[in-house]
Amino acid sequence: MSFEESARFPTFGGGFGIFVPQVGLDFQAVIDAAVRAEHSGFQSFWLMDHLFAPAANRADALESWTLISAIAVATGRIRLGHLVGCNPFRHPAVLAKMAATVDRIAGGRFELGLGWGSIESEFDMFGIEYDSPRCRSEQLAETIEIVRAMFSGEPFDYEGKHFRLSGAFGLPRPVNGSIPIHIGGAGRQLTMPIVAELADWWNCPGAARTRLEDLARRAGNARVSAQYAVGMITDEAQRAKVVERTHRRLPESGWGPAMIGTPAELVQKFAAEFDRGIELCIVRLHDLANLETIDVFGREVASVLTRGNTTYGKRAATN
């Protein structure tokens, strides 16, 4: 069955996620956003993994792994991850140990998002050594192989082009024996081959959604998620303001065409996205971490499409 012919409705790990990059937010604001997302109907909650905010480099930006451990304690159902983790920041064995530890804290709710690291100015700023894009993509592939071997708990040797391990093992193991791996990006030569070979999930950046069908053919058996800028209108008198704020804060050059509308309009728009074969829609809201907006989207959009409250939802619930 082709990608266009498939109708893969939300299943385990799918549905709706919310991306709340921890930029200019204090600890409690991020915790509150995660708790509200969990209670209102989102299936997953995602942070950024940067040492600074690429679009606002003088703003506070809490370290992501420390923060996600705290979120794991404060929540009990919602799945947690990074959109996406920067692979050059950490040795694969250290990364595997961190991921398994967070997964244990979260009771098996962690998702490991990874990318090969494309913001070279960040590496330059903090003095982090890095290789060419092709080398970084090779390092990402080796990292995934090593991480999966660590998750097995069995001793192993690894001899790669970039990494070498001898008699290594990872204990404790993740709660469910392994952790789903998401690879973000849309490069045909450096990213999609790794997705097809090694990923459980492919995360399509918002700017690449117009090419999603073509790229998805290159994703192998990986499940498909995508990123969306969302402007939600709860008061029709505020439509113009929401449109302006969405386009200003979440420009199309980075996020692709925004989804803007009332909750009812957004239900229809996202139902069409699930019909395209996307299993997980990860949204960034126009007013960022506003708790009321998170609550309304969760209850009136996410829950409607994932709990069988409409004709579409009933189809989703029976697949």
Q: What is the pLDDT of residue 37?
A: 98
pLDDT of residue 55: 72
User: What is the DSSP code string of the chain?
Assistant: --TTT------TT-EEEEE---BS--HHHHHHHHHHHHHHT-SEEEE---SS-TT-TTS-B--HHHHHHHHHHH-SSSEEEETTEEGGGS-HHHHHHHHHHHHHHTTS-EEEEEE----HHHHHHHT-----HHHHHHHHHHHHHHHHHHHH-S-EEEE-SS-EEEEE---SPPTTSS--EEEE---TTTTHHHHHHH-SEEEE-GGGGGGHHHHHTTSTT-EEEEEEEEEE-SSGGGHHHHHHHHHHHS-HHHH-S-EEE-HHHHHHHHHHHHHTT--EEEEEETTTT-HHHHHHHIIIIIHHHHTT-SHHHHHHHT-
The reported pTM is: 0.91
The structural domains of the chain, ordered by start, are 15-307 (3.20.20.30)
Weakest-pLDDT range from 76-85, 239-248, 251-260, 300-309 = 300-309
Question: In the prediction, which pLDDT does 13 show?
Answer: 62
- Provide mean pLDDT across the span 206-225: 95
How high is the mean pLDDT of the chain?
A: 91
What confidence tens digit (pLDDT) does each residue in 3-23 have?
443 333 444 568 999 999 999
Q: How confident is residue 57, by pLDDT bands cut at 50, 70 and 90?
A: low
Say whether pLDDT at 224 is over 90: yes
